């Protein structure tokens, strides 16, 4: 894990950590040894980079265990959330586990500060040497931007922007969905539907929607009738 003063923080960004946790969940049914993960990521078992990635997964609360890594309940909610609100709430919990990001988020009330303001805040909070702060600045700034993008969205904003319903059925052979006004996202998988504006946040929601559908298909009985 990376450190600045007495504060530790993840060495990789949240999206990258979620992607690795998702691979453990989908390819290894939620549990893999450190050696197995090294094989999966194409890294040496004793690689410092591998340990940094695993430490980041732990920092965000996405995995548990030591020799054997288990995907946490929190990670399952992030990866295969039932809806965008659950995804957001689980993501917030993950970011709040990182003390430095939580302190910065509270200091700036969810806003992304300019470079100088953030540098000053890091010096005051961590008491670390200035050259060390400058060296680690870029990743911390990206972490804060990722956290702000997730955490500043209110539940009302998400619920207004995204309609996700497992009850919305689209009959096979029926005409295509009506086009939404302006650019947008529209996904239909079986009886589940997601429609949303075309924004970064809603693209993340769509990705997690598809991940949830994939996990459902992977866990479905293989001898059942195929669905169209």
- Tens of pLDDT, residue by residue over 110-137, are 788 899 999 999 999 999 999 999 999 9
pLDDT at 43 over 80: yes
Residue 154, pLDDT score: 39
Where are the alpha helices (H) located in the chain, listed in sequence order?
14-28, 34-41, 48-59, 73-79, 84-96, 99-108, 115-126, 130-151, 155-161, 200-219
Question: Percent of the chain scored above 70 by pLDDT?
Answer: 71
Residue 226, pLDDT score: 46
Long-range contacts of 26-30 (CB under 8 A, 24+ apart): 26/211, 26/214, 26/215, 26/218, 30/70, 30/71, 30/76
List the structure tokens of 104. 């910065």
Q: Which residue has the higher pLDDT, 216 or 94?
A: 94
Which of 102-116, 139-153, 154-168, 184-198 is the least confident region? Answer: 154-168
What is the third-level CATH fold of 2-72? Arc Repressor Mutant, subunit A (1.10.10)
Q: What is the pLDDT averaged over residues 101-108?
A: 90
Residue whose token pair is 């075309």: 198
Residue 225, pLDDT score: 47
CA distance to 94, 153, 226, per residue, from 87 (Å): 11, 12, 29
Average pLDDT value for the chain: 80
Give the full edge-to-edge strand order of the sheet including 31-33: 31-33, 68-71, 63-64
pLDDT at 173 over 60: no
Give residue limits of the domains in the chain. Answer: 2-72, 84-155, 157-219
List the structure tokens of 98. 């990182």
Q: Using DSSP bridges, classify how beta strands 68-71 and 31-33 pair: parallel, antiparallel or unpaired.
A: antiparallel
Q: What is the pLDDT of residues 48-88, one digit of tens each?
A: 999 999 999 999 999 999 889 999 999 999 998 888 888 98
| CA 120 remoteness from chain centre | 28
Model confidence at 200, pLDDT cuts 50, 70, 90, reads: low
List the structure tokens of 181. 């006004």
Contact 127, 3 (CB under 8 A): no
Task: Please count the other Cβ atoms lying within 10 Å of the Cβ belonging to residue 120.
Answer: 12
Q: Which residue has the higher pLDDT, 209 or 85?
A: 85
Residue 206, pLDDT score: 72
Question: What is this structure's pTM?
Answer: 0.67
Contact 95, 105 (CB under 8 A): yes
């Amino acid at each position: 894990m990376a450190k600045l003063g007495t504060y530790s923080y993840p060495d990789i960004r949240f999206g990258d950590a979620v992607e690795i946790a998702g691979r453990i969940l989908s390819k290894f049914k939620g549990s893999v040894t450190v050696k197995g993960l090294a094989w999966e990521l194409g890294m040496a078992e004793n690689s410092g980079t591998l340990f940094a990635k695993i430490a980041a997964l732990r920092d965000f609360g996405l995995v548990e265990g030591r020799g054997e890594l288990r995907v946490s309940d929190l990670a399952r909610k992030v990866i295969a959330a039932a809806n965008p609100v659950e995804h957001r709430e689980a993501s917030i919990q993950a970011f709040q586990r990182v003390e430095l990001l939580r302190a910065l988020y509270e200091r700036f009330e969810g806003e992304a500060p300019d470079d100088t303001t953030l540098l000053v805040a890091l010096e005051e909070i961590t008491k670390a040497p200035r050259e060390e702060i400058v060296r680690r600045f870029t990743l911390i700034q990206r972490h804060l931007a990722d956290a702000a993008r997730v955490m500043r969205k209110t539940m009302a904003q998400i619920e207004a922007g995204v309609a996700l319903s497992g009850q919305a059925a689209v009959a096979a052979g029926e005409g295509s969905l009506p086009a939404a006004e302006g650019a947008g996202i529209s996904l239909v998988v079986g009886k589940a539907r997601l429609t949303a504006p075309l924004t970064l946040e809603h693209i993340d929601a769509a990705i997690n929607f598809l991940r949830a559908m994939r996990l459902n298909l992977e866990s479905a009985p293989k001898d059942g009738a195929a669905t169209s």
